[in-house]
A and B are shown apart, each in its own frame.
Chain A
């Protein structure tokens, strides 16, 4: 055993061994297969995967080790000092062993490469050629299974092709934590299967597998990618293409703020599939199913192709770019001089586009009325973002994925990681499994994402987060045993507090989080839900913040930026945030609005937002697809989806994730459209080319002045009466989000929409588990089956935007509000309810009178 000094200064124990006659020194504990890889020696393998625990399941990696009687599996054998290893390159024994194993593996393999999706990129195909016998001696009948077996609506299994390497089962157990797939049966009948109520799965299909929670995983698509044979295939991609047809382009996930590296494969101008890229610092090799399967949202018939302008008689007509740009420029200039124009960018913009919106507002519209937030937000959040998010990146000490994984404790507030930041969830879970990370989550009930990461729930009533965080920051013994654990855990060295965008809706919440971080020394990071949010902060799409994290209120920063942009001055009055802009638009104080990818349904009060946009004098919509805003706009300017443009996102870490165009269609980025409008207004914006924008952003003079952290008081908690409850809500990862449109197979694994109540509250309103519970405000009502959960009393939880539960649209309110709850007491009828949320609680169905059933069906329909 030698001890060597490594580069990073850490002392690592090493061992020295010989592989194929080459002497090599590796850290103690290294597997032989990795040591060989480092020397450039490829040992064939199927089950071995660097991110999964060793299994030794396939036996393909046999090598000869001197002094051992039999060949050993190099993927499970650790290197020892003086070990002499011979691989297939130098040892006839190893070669013969590998050929033998390959022959065994192929005994029951159907060899249907021509119809198999993996053909052409298949490790089994390749390694059978490189390390197998040239012919087969097997003449008997092969084992047959009905194919395909649906693992979920997106993943299909051909058991005949499976080599039982258990990569998929280990992934589901170790990485995702969803036991959706496992080994079943014994001996020759051993096979991969899914858990289902039916004990044996012959001929079983998707319909029965999506009925309950356990088989639905948000990560199941990864098994398709890691399966070393064609046993697991995607329903969506199945038979549609061949590896050699595809042009692969590295890109970045646009569905959440994770910044995951992905690979987009396209054929003849349309995207066929998306795979996970490899980035050990970000998403490792995993992505969520939403990232993998939701990519056809821009392919529908509602895609905007030509600009539109509204005629005098009120009709929208398609027109040329030159006319549309001219109308937009004239209208905006007039509106600017007659009250002003506000800019709402939406949360999906790239950094470049956000920068263009921010610059357009300041330079062309002479206003600070620009905001990227189309969700509940607050002035407190504006202040918080300026201080804790803007300008933070891994380069200047920002929290990273790796920090999270290695942290001794992580406290989540206003953030359900699995639903809102799926790759972050995988890191939290990995941290818990590998490094003993202790997760604490402040939310009303223990969601699957908390349970799977062995998290501890710190239960709160929505709105009570501020109080709890303040208590954790104080010296007093915490309000509960769990809180006490959390109180000491956040004080350990390296502890991290992650706050989600939902905390903005809790008065005093972000201030309390900042206070907790300050008093305990824990690091604090903001994790938004949408891909564009973080970049928009840095690019200056906030009413009080200019690009490069400089406050609007800071004169020197303004002057610096004005000279950098070559303009005389920049507007000095802080602007209005989204909510204030909408009020101003409704009351005529704003004469115009420039609206990017905004769906009014995402705002806390969609009806009011729509009224405001209808009332405003001049509405310009930069949109990808037709929708409410384009239909009510004066000018509609179509913009490019992420696949058709180059750009970058800042992920929640603040890491710049640059991507290139996948499909060149000539569709224009928001930045280029704004550049052209500005041109028509006689202003040079210089945002026509993303590379130029990035250079401009990178060249921004550094700015050090930081605004003061927010200190807002917590609000009084509402006191619901019997029959009322405080609403808690967050988005499911898979829901009605418009970026998931046209992804039919994906929707099948969405979690069922349910109402959650505590047992006591359910008893109070007389509802049993599974009964239809109606949650209502004076605006509307949502009726869903009840799931009794351990949570504070008089709190009701609903998914924000799932089938049958569009909280903001239907109830006109959001988390923290008091809503009415009632039930007619009956358990739900099987088959009642629509959407993919069915099947939940079906086991409780009782014959409860046809009248009830009919009424349920009706109310469910109305609510959708």
Chain B
């Protein structure tokens, strides 16, 4: 019998038993409740007994499966079952002894609940640490094969040609990051002006009515899945860009860097506009009044007073936009192409970090092949950049807050 079967049998028998005993305890306490002063309500004693019966066994199974999953030790299901049953019986005797007026069952139940809450919080932290560790761990494997220096300074990326023994000169990531930054810059040059100006219009000029329509409309933009943007970029925008370039006498690849850049820019508009809108609106009314009372026009007040005051918040919004653009995957996978290409021409195809990650992991390579591992190397760099951007934006926002709240 394996552990999961044992757990199944344990729970289908013990949970009902715990519930029944809890119920009996409740009615027993209920009957004696008015005779003496009980420190907790009958229901608390019931929950106390029920939990103390069920939990020790559950914890035993939890540890058994943890040990199994971590491949440290695989216990025989029967042994775990016996141990869990003994623990639960002990819990039953122990807890039933405590069903007396002077014992505060509520406190014990609340303590158990608190442990539950703490372990939930603990799991939440573990995920971040887990992401960082998992990526670092695999990235270390990669950097054992390929030197970090070569990875960061090489200009040739050809993982398909790499074999177990020979990786030199195949993993230079510069063209990949060049593509990533190129597309990010194109995206930001669409998203930043449009996003900020939309925010200015919504918060400074628009009537309540227009605002009530414009804001949700922009939020719709944010709710469209990225795969949909990707399809739109590849099927609709890319031919437009190619035709447009041709009419201007230029040649454009179908998978050019401009298309995903533009579409990504549109995708990021709502992030920038909604965050900027919030910060612009939190600039105190009195500041505007003071400026207007000096005889400035609306736009002068906005440009000279409101925007500079809101600047830290707007910068934070733009930084978040940048980290979105760097990490965006589907649009580039569907419209940017796979070819690492070091160029200044946005009409040529370029590839990005995220594209290479997806490409490396969706092939039929072995998990420890250099190409697969390279995804983790790239992922690590992406993670570090994102975290740095995030810390800067947290820092900037905090300074803005302390100024005006």
A and B bound?
no
Which A residues form the contact surface with B (CB < 8 A)? none
